[in-house]
Structure 1
Amino acid sequence: MSTFIKSIHDETLLQVHISCPLTKSNVPAIIIAHPYGPLGGNMNNNVVIAMQRHFVSKGYITACLNFRGCGKSQGRTSWTGQGERADYMSVMNYLLDKYPNINQLVLSGYSYGAMIANSIECTKVPCAYLLVSLPLGVMWALATTKMNEFKKQPISHATLCIHGDHDQFTRASTFLNWCQGHSNITHICIEGADHFWYDHEPELIDQINHWSLNIL
């Protein structure tokens, strides 16, 4: 189902694709956010599509959004990530209001989408964070003066930080340092994969599946 919702930031109309299982019992949900719009990012992305298909097969409610200025969403990309942060929160609020049977929510994203997801606070239902190729090495360019809001680690929620050892934007040691000292964060580095995951999508999904089965 494709729909449009208003961002709580400025009522910008956002394009959202939602898939919902037929069951009416308690069900988990996931929001999947895409890479940076000005560099071609949108929900029609190899990683976003692979994740969406996987979680649909597992019976999740899934929501993929196009941030402002991407796809058929209105507006333009912000310089600080604040507009996109509000966009993500708008989708979260919409899901939890429309589907009161959601009993668990995964806040996820890939690249820039992971940066945005990492900044969202979730208190209405049990939550976890799934961060694919979090762009730690270039947050200064993506969020400018607001970088620290997106770089902090989730304190108490189960979190997966997964990346390739050939990531072009963030060193493996930077990922490791970000994850160290936090027992709630699972750190996985995929050998041979880079930031874009082409031909490594199956390995990515296998690791995500293993984590979700053991954590969620």
Structure 2
Amino acid sequence: MNAHTQRLVLSGPGGDIECAVDQPTVAAGGHLAAPSALMVICHPHPQHGGTLDNKVVQTLARAGLALGYRTVRFNFRGVGASAGVWDEGRGEIDDALAVIEASRAADGAAALPWVLAGFSFGGYVAASAAQKLRDGGNAPARLALIAPSTLKQTVPAVPQDTLVIHGEADDVVPLAATLDWARPQSLPVTVIPGVGHFFHGQLALLKSLVVRAWSQAL
């Protein structure tokens, strides 16, 4: 994503997991800065072209960097250099949990607060991983779901401070599906008028919404 992106491989339950790690920089000179938090991001559906380099995923990473976070994007099993094969969501949640554990155990990250985000199918995975970790008393400090896959997946309930952003004209996950999921939770949903699933032409706005919502220090 930038000159400082580090590509690495972590060990996961299905084999190697390919990751891309970005560190925040100091504007003057572009030197690496000490991160204030760790952010793990889950990409959209592997069987429909989703990868860690998806533009919405990269936009989430840029939002994290703007906030001073170390960001970690990763490929689900069977995508890119990640080993394994599609596992109907079960193994993909396990992949996310493995990346979260390894990223939090990395040098300098153990003491950092951490946040979790996901786009589309990745939103389902992020919400599911957060639920599993919450049950174990190890929940993320913040959770962001961008156009979460509420139509085809059973997305669990999430904390009230979860950031949910959806396009009004989403033709992949209809806005109505996400509102139906959010309504019983009395969960606010930020709707961008006229925008489709991939936020074409509005990625800068998406980034600014995440930065604005999460600008308060952890």
Kindly indicate whether the alpha-carbon contact (under 8 Å) linking 2:43 and 2:118 is maintained by their aligned counterparts in 1. Answer: yes
- Residue 90 in 1 paired to residue 95 in 2? no
After superposition, the Cα gap between the structure-2 partners of 1:134 and 1:17, relative to the gap in structure 1 and judged at 3 Å, is same
Pick one of 74, 82, 90 that aligns with 1:73.
82
Which one has the bigger strand percentage?
1
Deviation digits for residues 82-136 of structure 1 (CA, Å, limit 9, x no counterpart): 1100100011101111111312x21111111111001013334652110001011
**Count of matched residue pairs:** 199
Q: Which residue of 2 aligns with 1:196?
A: 198
- Equivalent pair of 2:46/2:86 in contact (CA under 8 Å): yes
Hey, what's the Cα distance between the residues in 2 that align with 1:127 and 1:14?
A: 24
- TM-score, normalization by structure 1: 0.84
Structure 2: runs of 5 or more not aligned: 1-5, 25-31
Query: Percent same amino acid at aligned positions?
Result: 25
Does 2:44 align with 1:35?
yes
Question: Which residue of structure 1 aligns with residue 175 of structure 2?
Answer: 172
Q: CA RMSD in A?
A: 2.0
Cα deviation code 1:127-156 (max 9, x no counterpart) = 2110001011122xxxxxxx4xxx1111x4
Whole-angstrom CA distance in 2 between matches of 1:29 and 1:215: 13
Matched, 1:138 2:152: yes
Q: 1:23 to 1:44 in 2, by over 3 A?
A: closer
TM-fit CA distance, 1:174: 2.4
Higher helix share: 1
Alignment of 1:127 with 2:132, yes or no, is: no
Partner of 1:194: helix, strand, or coil?
coil
Which structure 1 residue ranges, 4+ long, deviate > 6 Å from structure 2? Answer: none
SS at 1:158's partner residue?
A: coil
Seen in structure 2, the aligned counterparts of structure 1 residues 174 and 38 have a Cα distance that, compared at 3 Å, is closer
